[in-house]
Each structure stands twice: as C-alpha cells, then as structure tokens.
Structure 1
Amino acid sequence: MILPGFLYPGPLEVVSALLLATALDIVYPYHSGVMLKIHPVHTSYFMALRLFRPYSSRLRGALIWLAVMASHLAIYSALLYFAYRLSPVAWVIVAAYITKASMSARLLLEEVSSAGRGLLEGDLNAARRAAQGLVRRDLSKEDPGHVASAAIESLAESLNDGLVSPLFWYALLGPLGALAQRLVNTMDGALGFKDPEHIRAGWLSAWADTIVNYIPARVTAALIVIASAPHRSSGRALRAWLRCGRLTESRNAGRPMSAMAGSLGVMLEKRGSYTLCGEFGRLPEGRDVAEAVRVAAISSALLVLAEVIVLLLI
C-alpha cells in the first residue's frame, strides 16, 4: 500500500516520530488541564456520549461511530498535512504528539504497580482502589486473589489496547493508523456494552474493536511469551495461550491474558464469567502483579525495538 507523503513520509521521519512519542509517554504519562480537554480519547468519548441516546437503533449507533471517527481523523489529518508542508521536523513533532496520544504504557504500568504494592503491603483497600480504576466490575468486596487477578487481566488486555495495537497500526498506516485504533477502542468503551440500553447502538463499536485488535491481540500474546524467557516460563506461557485463549467471551482479550497467566503460573478469574488456567490451582498475589508488570515492560521494549528495526528495513 502506497500512502500519501503527509501520512507516511519516509522511514527516518516515521521512526523519529515513534521514538519521540515513546519518550513523551515515559516523561509525560498524565494529561491534565488543556492537554486533557483536547486529548482525542477524551474528546471522542464525550462526543459519543453526547450523541448517544439509551435504546438507540443500530443505525443511530453506526452514524455516531462514523461521525466521531470521521471528525477526529479529519482534524488530525489536516494537522499532519500542514506540518508536512512546513518541514520534516514539524511533521515529526505533530506525528509524535498524535502517536503519544494514541498509546499509554507508563500510566498503565504505574496503575497496575500501585495495586501490586497495596497487596504486598497488606493494604487491601488501597489495592482495591488502584485496581478498580482498571476494570469495570465491582472490586469493593473482592479478596486479595481476585483483586490481583483483576489487575493482571487488565494489564494484559490493556497492553494490547493501549500499546501493541496502536503501534501495530502505526507501522502499517502511520500516526493516523495509531489514532484510528485508539478511537475505535474508545468508541467500544463508550458504547460497546451488551446491556439493553447499548446493545443495538453499540454493535458497530464492538465489532470494529474486535476486528481492529484481532491480529494485535495475538501479537501481544506472542510478546508475552518471548518476554517470559528470562524466567524460563515461555513454554508454559505458550501452552496456556493455546489452551485457554478462547475461554473469554471476547475473541481477543483471552489471548494475552492466558499467556500472562501461563507466564506467572497462576489462574485468572472473573467471577461468573471465566476462569483461565485453573489447573495452576492458585490465584495471583502481590508478587505476581509485580512480575506481570516486569513482563509487560519487557514486552513493550521488545515491541518498540522490533518496530524500529522493521520500519528502517522497509
């Protein structure tokens, strides 16, 4: 596929923007004030909620999805185009911002680490509060094992949604590819529920998220398998992925989650929904959460390194 120059000017600019975006994510993981108000995840989420009406039709849901996607991609396409016409340096800066806004690695690792620290320090309420920010289900009465499980499940799934998948599409389509993935994922988070109020209006948001993340979810699982090599648990992670990856309702989430469960040698359980790798016979603890963060960090570094090499080669 040949893309217009302002979307994908050349390997040097694309790699430079990727590295700058990665550095920005490390040094500036949090958005607040004006930067939060203009963040595409923030604006797309609230635009979708404003347009949504409970029990809306499938057609209205599809139109909301198209309106949010088209408006945001048009704005950021224009920014990229004018930056491209200005200079290569300007393009790299704008592309880096768009890519940085489309990914989130450090914030994810820190939030999961907070849950792990709470468990290690014996402060279950602090662990619950930290993990609750990562999942939709109520953790207020969960035991330490299920709190740790929720944190690790979210880490594995969000590693795909917030890093691997946007960078996968970045490699194929440039900064707007990363942004499009993030918008799709945000629309799923806004409308893609299966309760009566959302199930019809959210159908396109849910299916688009499944399709866009299908390959990246399996790439994420593979990265977790490779990142488990230092502790000689790669084989266990691979077997867990192949054996348990289909056990979640989501076609994608179970892949990285089961690989992470195998890497740690623990079972992951969401009450009433699924139990992954129950043969390991124990729920995770605080030390397992810390180890999961380490595996995710190695996976992230491997992804960026591999992507830089591939982009320079092509």
Structure 2
Amino acid sequence: MICWLLPMNCMEFLLVLMIAITMDFIYPYHSGLMLIIHPVHTSYVMALKLHNHLPKTKTSGIIIWSIVVITHTLLYTLILYLSSFNRLLWILTSSYILKVSISLKLLIVHVRNVELGLKVGDISYARHYVSGIVRRDVSKLGEAHIASAAIESLFESLVDGLTSPLLYYTFLGPIGALIQRLVNSLDSALGYKTNEFINTGWFSAKVDTIINYLPSRITSLLTILLCSLVNGSIKRALTIYLRDRGNTESINAGVIFASVSGCLSVRLEKINTYCIGSEFNLPKPNDISKSLRLVLMIITSYIFLICILYTIYVIFFGDILVR
C-alpha cells in the first residue's frame, strides 16, 4: 500500500495546499540552516559537485540526474513515511515538502520591485531585481526590455514554481511535487548550452521539458480564457498563441509567452533571440501590474481546477487513499 504518499481526502488535500502556500508567503526567503537543508539548494550543490568530478559527457549527465533525484526522493519519502503514523504530523510534513517544492512570494516580490524601479525611473534598481529571475545579461537592457524580461520570467516561473509542482502534487502527492522541483533545480544547475554543460546538462534539460509539457499548456490555456478579466481579447490571445508559440527554442516557454503576449497586447522580446507579438509595442511598467493581476487570477483558477481533479481522483481511487 502506498496510501500514505497521498492526502486521504479532499479536505486534507486542500489543507496541505493552503498551509504550504501560507508558509511560502510568510517565509519566502531561506537562510542559515533552512537554506542549507532546502532540497533545491542541496540538489543544486550536489549536481554541480558531481559535474566537477565526472567526465563532461551525456552519460555523466544521466548519472548525475539519477543520483541527485533518487537520493532526495528516497530521503523525503522516508521522512513522509515516518510521519504517517500520526495524521497531524503527516499533514505538517506534507505541507513542508510542498512548501519547498513551490515558489511564489519571492517571484512576486522580485517582479513588483522591477515594476517599482521602472515607475520611479531607477533603472539600476529594476536591473538588479530582474537579474535575479532571468538568465540573460541585463546590464545593457533598456526599460522596455527589462519589463519584457520581467513578464516573461513571471509566467515561466509560474509554471516551474507553482502550476507544475501542484499538478504533480494532485496525482502523486507531495513527493510528486518535490520530484518536479528537483528536475527543475537540475535544469537550473546544468541546463546550459555552453561548452562546459552542453553534454552533462542535456538529460536534465530534456526531462525538465517533458515534465513541464502539460503544466505549461494548462497554464497557457487558463491565460487565454482569463484574459478578458484584464481587458484582453480571448480571440487575439488565441491568434498570437497559434502563430507565435513556436518562436522560442523552448517548446514550453513559447506557449506561455505567446498566450501572455496576445492577452496583454505586448511584444515579448529577447534581443537577437526571439520576438513574440511583433505587431505590439514592448511592455511598460503598467503592463507588469496587469500581468501580476492576471497571475493571481490564474493561481486562483488553477487551485480550483486541481481541487476538482483531486475530487474526481478520490471518487475513482478513494479506496487506496484510506489509511
């Protein structure tokens, strides 16, 4: 029986979820011991240390991925199992595991600070905060491209840090959410196309693409359906989505960027790399505000959706959830 891996009913499912999100908002910044033991941190450090000691080959990349994901999964599965003998302890343990598997408050804080910097004309302030959420060099970006980078990262990180782990939480419990987060962490550590990482990071990048394929499309669909709430056009959002979703190298980023571009009527552009919504102007600070409102609506709708999915899950598979 693996029933202790999952919430036993819809109320427990929602309780764990709400506690995890509340914890994320209360304590988004990890430092000291909490940072040292955070699975995103430990998996990142472990991956880089293994990378430094192994040949720079694709086989090494598979080995690194397997060691990091399996060791972390086994450890947290054991912790969850040991907590299962007491319902309250299981709920708290599950909430912590889910909390470290999601990231929302920190993302919102960074994006709001970018918006603030642009609104008051402090471009250095805006660059500082946008550099914390994007990989690209932002040192020479103007205001419009900083705003574009912030909006792109907001929605891409929404998938990586919330909608994707919550989807796996729905069907695989808190350990499912953790595995998704580990996969994303390994992609962040190794998934670069530089000479140093192109081979060892190949497997991590591929798995990250696969595991986020469905969540990115669900998020994109919700973006299109909800865009009228921010004075957008569903028809226009769908048009840009169908036309421009293949403009990025990442098949997951493209679908979400295209839906956001059409919804907000803004051009999202990484200089010399891609352009989505070419007929629109680059975003302004007010478009960042609008994107944040849209994200909150998406989150609310998404939580409602996964609660429905879990209810259906319980109806059909409820017997295995009873401990």
Q: Same fold (TM over 0.5)?
A: yes
Q: Is 1:193–2:196 an aligned residue pair? A: no
Specify the alignment match of 1:4 in structure 2. 2
C-alpha RMSD over aligned residues: 1.4
> How far did 1:6 drift?
1.4
CA distance in 2, matches of 1:107, 1:243: 32
> How far did 1:288 drift?
0.7
> How far did 1:22 drift?
1.6
Specify the alignment match of 1:259 in structure 2. 259
CA distance in 2, matches of 1:303, 1:94: 23
Q: Kindly indicate whether the alpha-carbon contact (under 8 Å) linking 1:241 and 1:255 is maintained by their aligned counterparts in 2.
A: yes
CA distance in 2, matches of 1:175, 1:15: 12
CA distance in 2, matches of 1:26, 1:227: 24
The more displaced of 48-57 and 164-173 is: 48-57
1:246-270 superposed Cα distances (whole Å, 9 cap, x missing partner): 1100010111111111121110110
Specify the alignment match of 2:214 in structure 1. 215
- TM-score, length basis structure 2: 0.93
CA distance in 2, matches of 1:57, 1:185: 20
Runs (5+) with no aligned partner, structure 1: none
Specify the alignment match of 2:61 in structure 1. 61
The letter of the residue matching 2:162 is L
**Any idea what SS the aligned residue of 1:248 has?**
coil
Q: Kindly indicate whether the alpha-carbon contact (under 8 Å) linking 2:171 and 2:310 is maintained by their aligned counterparts in 1.
A: no
The letter of the residue matching 2:235 is G
Q: Is 1:204–2:213 an aligned residue pair? A: no
The letter of the residue matching 1:66 is S
| Matching of residues 112-191 of structure 1 within 5 Å | 112-191=111-190
The more displaced of 46-55 and 172-181 is: 46-55
CA distance in 1, matches of 2:2, 2:228: 40
Q: Kindly indicate whether the alpha-carbon contact (under 8 Å) linking 1:14 and 1:92 is maintained by their aligned counterparts in 2.
A: no
Q: Kindly indicate whether the alpha-carbon contact (under 8 Å) linking 1:15 and 1:312 is maintained by their aligned counterparts in 2.
A: no
Aligned length: 310
Q: Kindly indicate whether the alpha-carbon contact (under 8 Å) linking 1:61 and 1:202 is maintained by their aligned counterparts in 2.
A: yes
CA distance in 2, matches of 1:133, 1:287: 21
1:254-290 superposed Cα distances (whole Å, 9 cap, x missing partner): 111111111211101101110011011x111111111
Identity %: 42
Q: Kindly indicate whether the alpha-carbon contact (under 8 Å) linking 1:69 and 1:180 is maintained by their aligned counterparts in 2.
A: yes
1:94-124 superposed Cα distances (whole Å, 9 cap, x missing partner): 0000001000112111111110111111111
1:73-105 superposed Cα distances (whole Å, 9 cap, x missing partner): 0110001101112x1111110000000100011
Q: Kindly indicate whether the alpha-carbon contact (under 8 Å) linking 1:55 and 1:196 is maintained by their aligned counterparts in 2.
A: no
CA distance in 2, matches of 1:36, 1:262: 38
1:157-215 superposed Cα distances (whole Å, 9 cap, x missing partner): 11101101000111111101100000001101111111111111111101100100000
Specify the alignment match of 2:276 in structure 1. 276
**Any idea what SS the aligned residue of 1:157 has?**
helix
CA distance in 1, matches of 2:266, 2:55: 40
The more displaced of 128-137 and 51-60 is: 51-60
The letter of the residue matching 1:4 is I
**Any idea what SS the aligned residue of 2:219 has?**
helix
CA distance in 1, matches of 2:137, 2:116: 20
> How far did 1:56 drift?
0.8
Q: Kindly indicate whether the alpha-carbon contact (under 8 Å) linking 1:241 and 1:258 is maintained by their aligned counterparts in 2.
A: yes
The letter of the residue matching 2:3 is G
Specify the alignment match of 1:95 in structure 2. 94
CA distance in 1, matches of 2:202, 2:45: 18
Q: Kindly indicate whether the alpha-carbon contact (under 8 Å) linking 2:269 and 2:276 is maintained by their aligned counterparts in 1.
A: yes
